[in-house]
Structure formats: structure tokens, C-alpha cells
């Protein structure tokens, strides 16, 4: 598009006649290249119009927008084509509006840019109003015009929008009839406006399309040579008549009141002014319609042609009105009904914009699919100086054929050939595929019972209940489906509080234990079996079992006629069982689409798949990073999440701690510390940020950037929706398994858990099993506590960690007080902290506490329960059970040479304890 060099070009001469030339064209490069600005300067260009066909050519017909589309989809891969279009269009229109803003500031009526509502709303008044308001707000520029068609349904929308102060370009006008209605709607709209001054509107009268249609009809009737006019004469005459009417209305009494209030006239805009018939002058519809207070919007070719050889012969729009009238009369006499021509054109005009609009949606949908297939993985690893070690590890793994060997279930990746609990614990690798069939059965069961229950309670420990807990807290139950909660505390106050809260006759219990022998789980089951048996003769209807085939629990479930028994694959360990019935049954019961969960995990599997070479294998890359960082002393993996994902780190915690915390090594997951600035942390941290798309908050991002800049490794993972949890579960399972190989441990056993269980059993049988002879400090014994705290903290090593183990009834208030306590510990010592409720943590971080790096210090908190609950069918109470578990673990920690301080607390003492620590 050449530009004019002189001031006396036809384009400038038109301006001197009081007409504004606008550009009927847009694309991003027009603004980016500075071309639009040059046209304004050199051609006195005064405005810009767009329509769906123009955007279709710009976006659909080029790759100019591909980077922007990729950026949108990286942020939100589920963004649909219509949203992509709107965001691209809004951005272009804004840029054009900003370029033209000086013209707008100077004139108040020019320097405007038009954006059209969807052509599919042409016959929907309310839809048009809504979309116009939305676009007006989205663009947010005063020199925007919303284009609304002059259809029957468009007219009231035009009036309404003008009354709200929204600038309107009325489009698709072909006849005097259309013009009349539009001008009257303008007057009504402005009269309803609070302040009519400053509202800008144009009435777009289409020209060349009329010419074409008339030519066609003349031709069809064999009249082309028989008459002394052609289609272009009719089109020009039609437009000139509209201009005459414009003058009558806007220079006469009709507009007097508004003129007085400072309102602008609604200028006629000549649209469709590129000449479609090559036998006619390419500037015909510019030269013939020059007039004061009009606009002519022309595409680039017409602008070039007009600048090159256009003639400006004064106010041509008022030329020869007698001939104009005569032409229109003659047209009627030869039997061509102009009203029919123009109504047909308006209807066709809607179609003519709808087709490119739909084509554009199709093109964008195709681009979306193509780009999404190649989107970067939503995990980003900032590893600083550790990058080399990780790259070397991945190279070594490629040479060793690590990925293929993992899929071949090769135990020597971790330990000796015949190590137990190894090759028979790798079933998780292909769960996304192998669970598909069972998933359908689980969903059918869930759908069949949904009406019978308001609550589902999962009774289970560690890997048998952590995934359900995450699903229950992250997802909302689908309409009509029950809530899912988990019971994993043996504290009698917790058990009785839950029982009191539930409507037992509307509750389904999922008894979840792989081994079928876990004491806590069986105790919960016996308690609730007894309670439900008091209400019904068929208590089994309220129970479902999740277990391994052949387990003790399977036998119980069959004997007692449970509503269902789901059998899990035996080659998947507890902490790797999220995508087996252990995780899927509770998820399905709350209406989560579990096939979708498996599909998402499948996406991660594809990225970590059989023989995908180590450097391109996302699970292995994560594993190499976790392992190498831990080896280099960065062994405290500190989790941060966006609000929806708050429950996720508890699942990660078990996976990491129980898998890697053994043989005096391991990775310490930190799941409960509030995030702080770089000053709060030592050199032993890695930060992992899980966020749900759209939930990132500025403070967290800024703090993580500061930590990154301070040299801490930061791993960020984006979840596009809640279902991506399954993808991350799979990725982290693979990552932790691989990290185990770096650390030289066997990630699938938990050797130190058994020791605590044995000691707890012994404590139950001993006379003083409740721990009365275990050294315990009372929180209100201030002097002793101060001294013991000082001794305990005195042994803290800054590369170590502090673990708070709370054998207390879980509640939001207690969790908040405990979080404050661990924060005080971190801030006083600079050490990382872990926090867990007993006995839940025994099935999570408990393995690491005793078997992991020997630099942990533990604070065991016990209380005196208010409630006491006998466990039916046994000879113990929940009070005795939890006390024995605390005592047993205390002893196990001591046997493993760990330092433990045991404090008896009551409701108020957690705050005092935090204060005592801060006071040091
Ligand atoms: O499913 P089960 O056999 O009841 O075990 C529960 C949890 O106890 C452990 O075996 C030991 O903590 C975990 O690995 C497991 O997730
Ligand atoms: O606002 C402008 C119109 O959308 C445009 O001028 C239509 O032109 P056409 O008839 O060449 O498609």
C-alpha cells in the first residue's frame, strides 16, 4: 500500500470537502508496522471499520496471529475458538483505537474504530445488546463504535445502546426505508441518553452490493441494453436520496432539540464502496458520493486507486438529484422492485458475514487443535546450578536404557534382583489403560447408589485414603451426588464428633485397606458397623470395601454382605494407588468423571512412556531433578499451591516421604508451612508450586520469583482444570520412583512403619500402654517446658528439620494453631518443618522420621481426650489405641536415635507453646 507524499492528494482534498475517509480493513501488522499511523498523517485517514469477513482474512488467512493464539492456549488450553477470536479482535481494535485516538481527541467524531457484533445475533435484540455492552467494556476505549445491523431486531438494540452512551455504527443498510428507521432510532436513543453530546454514530449505507444486484436483475430480464442506466446508477441514486433525507432530518426541526444539547449528527457512511465490476472505474463510489458530514470507508486497494487517480469534484453527493429520482422511477417502471432488492440484500448480508465468521471459527478450532498438541508441558523447572547434574543424570539414564528397563519391571534399577516388594509393585505404570474397564463398572455402581446417600465416608489410612481426601476437597460433588470425607484419626473426640455429625441412615462407608489388617481402619469399621446395626437389619447396605483380593477385609465384607467389594490390583502399593479403586471409587461416588481422570493420567503416561528416552521423558526429568537436588543438599521439597489445590500436598507428602525416607537418606516434604521470603529459608530447599489456571495470585508469584532469584530451585506446575490432578499424580509417581534410583533406595517398601506398629501393639498389651511412664512435659509447667524446649531446640541442625506430631483431634482451629507453631519453629531455627496429625502421619511421614536422614527433631503433642469410645468387637478403646500409637512411635523414634520431646497440651496451650518458641 503506497502512501501519499504530498499534501494535495485526492485523499486530502476529500477531507477539505468535509468528508472523512476511513479504512475498511484491519490486521495486526497494520498497527505493528506503523502503517496506520502513516495513513493518518499522509492521507488524512480519519477512522477504521472491520467486519467478520475482514477478520476472517486477517486471522484465518495468515500465520500472523499464531504466536498470540499459542500464548492464549498456553495460559488456557481449553479456550474455545469464539473466545480466541474475540480476544484477538479486541486486541487489534484497541491498538487501532489507540493509534487513531489523537484524531478522536481533535474532532470528537472521527478517529473511531468499529467492531461488529456476531452476525448470528442479527435477529436477536437482547443478545445484540448484551454482546455490544460486553465488547464495549472489553475494548474499553471511548473511540470505539459497535457495529449493529439495521435489521428489524437490530433497530431497538441500536436505540438502547445509544441511550446508554455506546457509540454505534449501524451496518447493513440498503434502502431509504432502512435509513428512515435508523435515523429515528438514533433520535430516540439520544433523547433517552443522560447526555447526548459526545455520542458518535454513523449509518452505513451499502452501495456496490445494490449495483450488483440490480445489474443481475436487469440481466435476468434481458434489460441491460434496453435501459439508459445500470446498477451503479441505481446504487448512487439510492445513496444520494438517503443523503437528501439526512439533510432534511439533521438540518431541520427534527434534530433541533438535540442540536441545542450539543449532540452530533449521525453521519451517513458509504460502505461497500469498492467497485466489484471491473468494467467500471475503481474509484466510482468514492468520486460520486463526496459530501459534507459523510464518511466513506474503503479497503486498501480502493484507497490506493483513489490516491493515485481519484478526482474530487466538489459535493458530488448532491449532484443531479433529478436524474437520481428519474433512475429510480425508471427502475420501478421496468418492473424491478427496489424494496425487494434491498430487503434481499439485507438478509443476504447477514448470511454473507455469518459464513466467514463460521469459517473463521473452524480455522481457529483447527489451529487450536494443532497448537494444543504441541503445547509446552505445563511444568517448568528452574534448577540454577543443578541443571548440569540433572542433564548428566538424564544422559546417563539414556545410555543405561532406564526408561525401557522401568517398563520391563527391571528391579536392578533400585536394588538386587530378588528384592521383595519391588517388581510386584510396578503395576501403577499402566493403570491409566488397565483401569479403563473397571472404571466403567465403578461409575455404574456410583450412579446406582447416589440417591440413597448424602455422605460418603472413607475409613482408611495413608495411601488408602489420601487420594480420596484430595478428590473430596478439590472437586465439588456433582449435582445430586454425596459429599466425600475421610476418617483417618483414632482420636476419640474426632470419631465421636464425626458420628454425631452424620445422618447415619444416609451415609455410605467405604472401608479401604489394601492389607485388610490395618488396626485403625478395622477399628473405624467396627465402630460404625455397630452404630449402623443399631439402625437397620441390613447394615451391609451402608458399607463398601476397597481391598486386595483374598484379604481379611474381603472376607469380612463377604461375610457381612457389604453393598459392594472392589478389588484393587495387587501389584500396586498403597501410595501409588490413587488411580485404582482406592482413589476411583470415592471419586466416582461424588460424581467425578473417573474416565476423564484416567485420560489425564494417560497424557502423563504418554510423556513418560515405554522407552521415551530419558531427556524427553517428563517423569524421569522430574525424578532426576528431585534426586540430584536432594543429593546436593536441597532435600526439603516445600509445597505451595493455589487455593483450590490446598489438599494436594498431603498426598505428595506420603508419596515422597514413605517412598524415599529410608536407609538414613530421603527427601523431606514440607507441606504445611506458609510461604515466606528468601530470608526465612536455608540452602536446603526446593519450592514446588501447583496452581490451578487462573488462580495464581500476585503475592505468591512475587515471592516465588524472589526465591528463584535468590538461587532456590523452583518447580511450577500448572493444572488447567481439576482433572489434571491425575496427570500430576502420575507424573510425580514416576518422578519419585526415579528419584529413588538417584538416592540408591528402594522406593516401594516402608520398612520402618512396621516397627512403630509392633511397638504400638506391645504398648496396647502392656499394663501402662497408654504411655504414663513415657517422659512427658505438661505445657502449663512453664519452667520445665522452657528448659526442655531449650535443650531440644539446642540440638537442631540447620540442615535438618523439625517434625510436629499432633495426636489431637483434627479441626480447622487446631490446624491453624499448629501451622502457627511450625512457622514459629521455622522462623526461630531456620529449619524446615513437617506437621502431621497422629496417627495419620504414621502412614505418611512416619517412615521418613525413623528411616530417613537422621537429622530430624520431633515434638510429640498429646492430650487428654474428652470422649471415650470402646471399639466394638475388641477389648480396647479409641483412647487406648491413640495413646498406644503415640507411645509406640515415641519408642520407635528413640530406638532409631531420634530426639523427641513429648508435651501434653490442652485447648489453649498450642498458642502458648508457639509464643514460648518465639520468645527464645
Ligand atoms: O491399605 P492398608 O493396608 O490399610 O495400608 C494403609 C497404609 O499403611 C501403610 O502400609 C504404611 O504406612 C501405607 O503404605 C499404606 O498406604
Ligand atoms: O462497514 C463496512 C462494510 O462492512 C463493508 O464496507 C462492506 O463491504 P463489501 O460490500 O465490499 O463487503
Q: Could you report the per-residue pLDDT of 882-895, keeping only the tens digit for each?
A: 999 999 999 999 99
- What is the percent of the chain where pLDDT is above 70? 97
Closest CA to 847 of 751, 720, 715, 733: 751
| Residue 689 backbone class (left: φ over 0; alpha: ψ -120 to 50; beta: rest) | beta
Q: What is the pLDDT of residues 456-502, one digit of tens each?
A: 999 999 999 999 999 999 999 999 999 999 999 999 999 999 999 99
Section 17-30 average pLDDT: 95
Q: Which atom of ligand 1 is nearest to the CA of 518?
A: 4
Q: Alpha-carbon distance 618 to 172, whole Å?
A: 54
Pocket of ligand 1 (CB under 6 A): 461-464, 513-515, 518, 521, 574-575, 658, 750, 753, 843
C-alpha 466 – ligand 1 centre gap (Å): 11
Report yes or no: 4 and 43 within 8 Å, Cβ to Cβ: yes
- Contact between 631 and 745 under an 8 Å Cβ cutoff? The reply is no
Report the alpha-carbon distance of residue 93 to residue 51 in Å, rounded. 11
Three-state SS string over 646-710 comes to CCHHHHHHHHHHHHHCECCECCEEECCCCCCCHHHCCCCEEEEEEEECCCCCHHHHHHHHHHHHC
Q: For residue 423, what pLDDT is reported?
A: 86
Distances (CA, A) of 36 to 59, 302, 702: 18, 16, 38
Ligand 1 atom nearest to 461, measured from its CA: 6
pLDDT tens, position by position, 25-57 = 999 989 988 889 999 999 999 999 999 999 998
Q: What is the pLDDT of residues 219-261, one digit of tens each?
A: 999 999 999 999 999 999 999 999 999 999 999 999 999 999 9
DSSP string, 610-650: TT--GGG-HHHHHHHHHHHHHHTT--EEEEEE-GGGTTHHH
Q: Dihedral angle at the C-alpha atoms of 769, 771, 773, 774, nearest 10 degrees? A: 130
- Helix ranges restricted to H, 33-80: 35-43, 52-55, 66-75
Whole-number Å distance between alpha carbons of 178 and 192: 21
Question: In a 10 Å sphere around its CB, with 0-12 CB exposed, 13-18 middle and 19+ buried, how is residue 711 labelled?
Answer: exposed
**What pLDDT was estimated at residue 908?**
83
**Alpha helices for 263-386 (secondary structure H):** 284-287, 300-309, 321-333, 338-373
Q: Would you state the pLDDT for residue 78?
A: 78
Ligand 2, residue 51: give the atom nearest the CA: 4
* Furthest C-alpha separation in the chain: 121
CB count within 10 Å of CB 530 equals 14
pLDDT digits (tens, 9 = 90+) for 385-419: 999 999 999 999 989 989 888 988 999 999 998 89
CATH superfamily of the domain spanning 10-355: Aldolase class I (3.20.20.70)
- First CA to last CA across the chain, in angstroms? 76
* DSSP bridge pairs for 382: 714
Q: How big is the chain by its Cα radius of gyration, in Å?
A: 38
CATH architecture group of domain 430-602: 3-Layer(aba) Sandwich (3.40)
Question: Is pLDDT of 141 > 50?
Answer: yes
Q: Which ligand is nearest to the CA of 521?
A: 1
Whether the CB-CB separation of 877 and 868 falls below 8 Å is answered with yes
Q: Which three cell numbers stand for residue 869?
A: 469410645
**Ligand 2, closest atom to CA 169?**
1
Half-sphere exposure of 57 (CA within 13 A, CB side): 11
C-alpha span between 465 and 545 (Å, rounded):
12
C-alpha grid cell, residue 890: 515415641
Q: How far apart are CA 155 and CA 152, in angstroms?
A: 6
**What's the CA gap between 637 and 818, in Å, rounded?**
20
Instruction: Tell me the β-bridge partners of 806.
Output: 837, 861
| Residue 793, helix vs strand vs coil | helix
DSSP assignment of 136-168 equals: HHHH--TTEEEEEE-STTHHHHHHHHHHTT--E
pTM of the model: 0.66
Cα 74 to ligand 2 centroid, rounded to whole Å: 35
724 CA → ligand 1 middle, Å: 25
pLDDT digits 0-9 by tens, 606-634: 666 666 666 668 899 999 999 999 999 99
Whether 6 shows a pLDDT value over 50: the answer reads: no
Q: Give the number of the atom of ligand 1 that is nearest the alpha carbon of residue 521.
A: 4
- pLDDT: which is higher, 611 or 202: 202
> What confidence score (pLDDT) does residue 7 get?
45
Contact 630, 742 (CB under 8 A): yes
Cell triple for 198: 459526545
The per-residue pLDDT for range 310-365, each reduced to its tens digit, is 999 999 999 999 999 999 999 999 999 999 999 999 999 999 999 999 999 999 98
For 753-918, the fitting CATH number among 3.20.20.480, 3.10.180.10, 3.40.50.10490, 3.65.10.10 is 3.40.50.10490
Distance from residue 136's CA to the centre of ligand 1 (Å): 58
Instruction: Flag the least confident range among 6-10, 444-448, 511-515, 539-543.
Output: 6-10
Domain ranges for the chain, please list them.
10-355, 379-408+607-743, 430-602, 753-918
Report the alpha-carbon distance of residue 606 to residue 584 in Å, rounded: 21
Q: Which ligand is nearest to the CA of 149?
A: 2
- CA dist., res. 650 & res. 469, Å (int): 9
Q: What is the pLDDT of residue 2?
A: 36
Q: Are 458 and 487 in contact (CB under 8 A)?
A: yes
- The C-alpha angle with vertex 330 and arms to 326 and 331, in degrees rounded to 5, equals 120
Q: How far is CA 821 from CA 233, 785, 807, 862, in A?
A: 87, 15, 15, 15
Which DSSP string corresponds to 594-614? HHHHHHHHHHHHHHT-TT--G
Equal CATH topology for 10-355 and 753-918: no
- Measured in Å, residue 636 CA sits from the centre of ligand 2 at 63
Q: What are phi and psi of 630, to 5 degrees?
A: -65, -40
- The Cα 274–Cα 283 span in angstroms is 7
Cα separation, 867 vs 217, whole angstroms? 94
Q: What kind and span of H or E run contains 852?
A: none
At 736-790, the pLDDT tens digits run 999 999 999 999 999 998 877 788 788 777 765 566 678 999 999 999 999 999 9
Pocket test for ligand 1, best of 462, 468, 840, 846 (most atoms within 8 A of CB): 462
Nearest CA to ligand 1 atom 9: 843
Q: Across-strand partners of 914?
A: none
The CA dihedral of 114, 119, 124, 127, to the nearest 10 degrees, is -60
Residues whose CB is less than 8 angstroms from the CB of residue 749 and which lie 6 or more positions away in sequence, other chains included: 420, 421, 422, 662
**Adjacent-strand bridge partners of 834:** 803
Is residue 281 within 8 Å of residue 203, measured between CB atoms? no
Give the closest ligand to the alpha carbon of residue 842: 1
Q: Whose CA is nearest to atom 8 of ligand 2?
A: 272
**Atom number of ligand 2 nearest to Cα 276:** 11
* Structure-block grid coordinates of residue 588: 466416582
Mutate to test the pocket of ligand 2, among 295, 297, 299, 355 (most ligand atoms within 8 A of CB): 297
Q: With 50 as the cut, is the pLDDT of residue 876 above it?
A: yes
Q: ∠684-689-691 over CA atoms, to 5°?
A: 170
Mutual orientation of helices 81-107 and 338-373 as an angle, nearest 10°? 120
Span from the CA of 764 to the centroid of ligand 2 (angstroms):
87
| 512, 515, 845: residue to mutate for ligand 1 pocket, most atoms within 8 A of CB | 515
3-state secondary structure of 490: coil
Read off the DSSP letter of residue 280: S
Average confidence (pLDDT) over 163-188: 98
Domain range 379-408+607-743, CATH class = alpha beta
Residue with cell 543429593: 631
C-alpha 101 to ligand 2 mean position (Å): 23
Nearest to 367 by CA among 67, 600, 76: 67
CA–centroid distance, 130 to ligand 2, in Å, is 24
**Annotated catalytic, 147?**
yes
Q: Is the peptide bond before 839 cis (omega within 30 degrees of 0)?
A: yes
Task: Indicate the top mutation candidate among 24, 49, 168 to test ligand 2's pocket, ranked by most ligand atoms within 8 A of CB.
Answer: 24
Can you tell me the distance from the alpha carbon of 523 to that of 877, in angstroms, rounded to the nearest whole number?
9
588 alpha carbon to ligand 1 midpoint, in Å?
A: 22
**Residue with CA at minimum distance from ligand 2 atom 7:** 272
State the pairing for strand pair 168-173/201-206.
parallel
Ligand 1, residue 462: give the atom nearest the CA.
Answer: 16
C-beta of residue 349 within 8 angstroms of C-beta of residue 209 = yes
The number of the ligand nearest the C-alpha atom of 173 reads: 2
- Catalytic residue, chosen from 147, 514, 636, 662, is 147
Describe the strand order of the beta sheet including 801-807 as a list of residue ranges: 777-778, 899-904, 856-862, 801-807, 832-837
State yes or no: pLDDT of 704 exceeds 80.
yes
**Among the listed residues 153, 142, 159, 267, the one whose alpha carbon sits nearest the alpha carbon of residue 204:** 267
Mean of all residue pLDDT scores within the chain: 94
Residue nearest to atom 7 of ligand 1 (CA): 462
Above 70 in pLDDT, residue 1?
Answer: no
Element of type H or E holding 46: none
Nearest CA to 836 among 582, 575, 488? 488
Distance CA 511, CA 494 (A): 17
User: Residues lining ligand 2, judged by CB closer than 6 Å?
Assistant: 24, 49, 51, 171, 204, 206, 208-209, 271-272, 274, 297
Counting ligands in written order, the one closest to the CA of 205 is: 2
Nearest ligand atom owner, CA of 348: 2
Q: What pLDDT is recorded for position 5?
A: 36
Q: 272 alpha carbon to ligand 2 midpoint, in Å? A: 4
Neighbours of 505 (CB within 10 A): 12
Cα–Cα distance measured from residue 748 to residue 490, given in angstroms and rounded to the nearest whole number: 26
Q: Is a pLDDT exceeding 70 seen at residue 726?
A: yes
- The pLDDT confidence band at residue 371, using thresholds 50, 70 and 90, is confident
For atom 16 of ligand 1, the residue with the nearest CA is 463
> What pLDDT does 920 receive?
80
Helix (H) or strand (E) holding 201: strand 201-206
How much distance in Å is there from the Cα of 65 to the middle of ligand 1?
52
* Strands 714-719 and 379-382, sheet pairing: antiparallel
Q: Return the ligand 1 atom nearest residue 574 CA.
A: 16
Considering only CA atoms, which of 642, 621, 603 is closest in space to residue 372? 603
In the structure grid, which three cell numbers stand for residue 902, read together?
513429648
- DSSP letter assigned to residue 796: -
Nearest residue (CA) to ligand 1, atom 4: 513
pLDDT at residue number 757: 79
**From 55, 203, 271, mutation site for ligand 2 pocket: most ligand atoms within 8 A of C-beta:** 271
Q: How does pLDDT run across 82-131, given as a tens digit for each residue? A: 999 999 999 999 999 999 999 999 999 999 999 999 999 999 999 999 99
Amino acid at each position: 500500500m503506497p502512501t501519499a507524499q504530498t499534501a494535495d492528494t485526492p485523499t486530502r482534498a476529500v477531507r477539505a470537502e468535509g468528508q472523512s475517509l476511513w479504512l475498511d480493513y484491519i490486521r495486526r501488522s497494520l498497527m505493528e508496522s506503523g502503517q496506520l499511523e502513516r495513513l493518518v498523517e499522509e492521507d488524512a485517514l480519519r477512522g477504521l471499520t472491520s467486519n467478520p469477513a475482514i477478520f476472517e482474512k486477517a486471522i484465518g488467512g495468515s500465520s500472523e496471529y499464531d504466536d498470540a493464539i499459542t500464548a492464549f492456549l498456553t495460559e488456557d488450553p481449553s479456550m474455545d475458538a469464539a473466545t480466541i477470536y474475540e480476544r484477538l479482535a479486541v486486541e487489534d481494535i484497541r491498538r487501532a483505537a489507540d493509534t487513531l485516538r489523537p484524531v478522536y481527541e481533535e474532532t470528537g467524531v472521527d478517529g473511531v474504530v468499529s467492531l461488529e457484533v456476531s452476525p448470528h445475533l442479527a435477529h436477536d435484540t437482547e443478545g445484540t445488546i448484551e454482546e455490544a455492552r460486553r465488547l464495549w467494556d472489553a475494548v474499553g476505549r471511548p473511540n470505539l463504535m459497535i457495529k449493529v445491523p439495521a435489521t428489524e431486531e437490530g433497530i431497538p438494540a441500536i436505540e438502547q445502546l445509544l441511550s446508554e452512551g455506546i457509540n454505534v455504527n449501524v451496518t447493513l443498510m440498503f434502502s431509504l426505508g432502512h435509513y428512515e428507521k435508523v435515523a429515528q432510532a438514533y433520535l430516540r436513543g439520544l433523547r433517552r441518553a443522560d447526555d447526548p453530546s459526545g455520542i458518535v454514530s454513523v449509518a452505513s449505507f451499502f452501495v456496490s452490493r445494490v449495483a450488483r444486484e440490480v445489474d443481475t436483475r436487469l440481466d435476468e430480464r434481458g434489460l441491460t441494453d434496453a435501459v439508459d442506466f445500470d446498477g451503479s446508477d441505481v446504487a448512487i441514486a439510492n445513496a444520494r436520496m438517503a443523503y437528501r433525507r439526512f439533510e432534511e432530518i439533521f438540518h431541520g426541526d427534527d434534530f433541533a432539540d438535540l442540536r441545542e444539547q450539543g449532540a452530533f449528527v449521525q453521519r451517513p457512511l458509504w460502505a461497500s464502496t469498492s467497485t466489484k465490476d471491473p468494467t467500471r472505474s475503481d474509484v466510482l463510489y468514492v468520486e460520486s458520493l463526496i459530501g459534507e458530514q459523510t464518511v466513506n470507508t474503503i479497503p486498501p486497494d480502493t484507497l490506493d486507486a483513489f490516491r493515485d487517480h481519484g478526482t474530487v469534484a466538489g459535493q458530488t453527493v448532491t449532484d443531479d438529484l433529478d436524474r437520481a429520482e428519474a433512475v429510480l422511477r425508471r427502475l420501478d417502471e421496468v418492473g424491478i422492485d427496489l424494496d425487494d432488492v434491498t430487503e434481499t440484500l439485507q438478509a443476504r448480508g447477514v448470511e454473507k458475514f455469518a459464513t466467514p465468521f463460521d469459517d473463521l471459527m473452524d480455522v481457529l478450532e483447527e489451529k487450536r487443535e494443532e497448537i494444543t498438541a504441541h503445547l509446552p508441558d505445563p511444568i517448568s523447572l528452574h534448577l540454577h546450578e543443578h541443571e548440569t547434574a540433572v542433564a548428566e543424570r538424564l544422559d546417563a539414564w539414556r545410555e543405561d536404557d532406564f526408561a525401557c528397563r522401568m517398563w520391563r519391571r527391571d528391579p536392578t534399577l533400585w536394588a538386587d534382583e530378588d528384592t521383595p516388594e519391588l517388581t510386584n509393585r510396578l503395576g501403577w505404570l499402566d493403570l491409566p489403560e488397565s483401569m479403563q474397564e473397571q472404571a466403567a463398572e465403578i461409575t455404574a455402581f456410583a450412579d446406582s447408589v447416589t440417591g440413597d446417600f448424602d455422605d460418603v465416608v472413607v475409613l482408611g489410612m495413608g495411601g488408602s485414603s489420601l487420594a480420596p481426601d484430595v478428590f473430596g476437597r478439590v472437586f465439588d460433588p456433582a449435582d445430586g451426588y454425596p459429599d466425600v470425607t475421610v476418617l483417618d484419626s483414632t482420636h476419640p473426640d474426632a470419631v465421636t464428633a464425626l458420628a454425631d455429625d452424620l445422618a447415619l441412615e444416609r451415609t455410605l462407608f467405604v472401608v479401604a485397606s489394601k492389607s485388610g489388617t490395618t488396626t485403625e481402619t478395622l477399628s473405624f469399621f467396627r465402630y460404625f458397623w455397630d452404630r449402623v446395626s443399631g439402625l437397620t437389619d441390613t447394615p451391609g447396605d451402608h458399607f463398601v470395601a476397597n481391598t486386595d483380593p483374598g484379604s481379611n477385609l474381603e472376607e469380612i465384607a463377604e461375610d457381612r454382605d457389604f453393598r459392594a467389594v472392589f478389588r484393587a490390583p495387587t501389584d500396586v502399593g498403597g501410595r501409588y494407588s490413587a488411580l485404582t479403586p482406592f482413589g476411583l471409587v470415592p471419586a466416582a461416588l461424588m460424581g467425578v468423571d473417573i474416565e476423564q481422570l484416567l485420560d489425564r493420567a494417560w497424557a502423563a503416561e504418554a510423556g513418560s512412556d515405554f522407552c521415551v528416552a530419558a531427556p524427553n521423558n517428563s517423569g524421569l526429568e522430574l525424578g532426576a531433578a528431585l534426586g540430584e537436588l536432594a543429593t546436593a543438599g536441597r532435600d526439603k521439597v516445600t509445597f505451595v499451591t493455589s487455593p483450590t489445590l490446598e489438599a494436594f500436598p498431603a498426598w505428595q507428602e506420603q508419596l515422597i516421604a514413605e517412598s524415599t525416607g529410608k536407609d538414613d537418606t530421603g527427601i523431606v516434604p514440607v507441606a504445611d508451612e506458609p510461604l515466606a521470603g528468601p530470608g526465612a529459608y536455608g540452602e536446603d530447599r526446593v519450592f514446588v508450586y501447583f496452581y490451578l489456571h487462573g488462580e495464581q495470585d500476585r503475592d505468591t508469584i512475587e515471592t516465588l520469583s524472589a526465591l528463584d532469584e535468590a538461587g532456590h530451585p523452583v518447580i511450577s506446575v500448572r493444572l488447567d482444570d481439576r482433572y489434571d490432578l491425575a496427570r500430576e499424580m502420575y507424573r510425580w509417581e514416576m518422578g519419585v520412583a526415579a528419584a529413588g534410583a538417584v538416592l540408591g533406595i528402594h522406593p516401594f517398601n516402608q520398612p520402618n512403619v512396621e516397627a512403630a506398629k509392633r511397638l504400638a501393639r506391645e504398648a496396647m498389651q502392656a499394663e501402662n500402654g497408654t504411655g504414663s511412664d513415657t517422659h512427658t512435659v505438661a505445657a502449663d509447667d512453664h519452667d520445665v517446658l522452657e528448659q526442655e524446649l531449650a535443650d531440644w531446640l539446642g540440638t537442631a541442625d540447620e540442615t535438618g528439620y523439625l517434625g510436629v506430631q499432633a495426636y489431637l483431634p483434627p479441626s480447622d482451629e487446631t490446624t491453624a494453631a499448629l501451622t502457627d507453631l511450625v512457622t514459629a519453629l521455622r522462623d526461630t531455627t531456620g529449619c524446615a518443618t513437617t506437621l502431621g496429625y497422629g496417627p495419620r502421619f504414621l502412614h505418611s511421614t512416619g517412615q521418613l522420621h525413623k528411616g530417613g536422614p537422621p537429622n530430624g527433631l520431633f515434638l510429640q503433642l498429646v492430650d487428654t481426650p474428652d470422649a471415650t469410645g470402646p471399639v466394638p468387637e475388641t477389648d480396647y478403646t479409641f483412647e487406648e489405641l491413640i495413646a498406644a500409637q503415640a507411645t509406640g512411635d515415641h519408642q520407635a523414634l528413640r530406638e532409631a536415635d531420634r530426639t523427641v520431646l513429648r508435651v501434653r497440651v490442652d485447648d489453649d496451650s498450642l498458642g502458648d507453646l508457639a509464643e514460648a518458641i518465639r520468645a527464645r
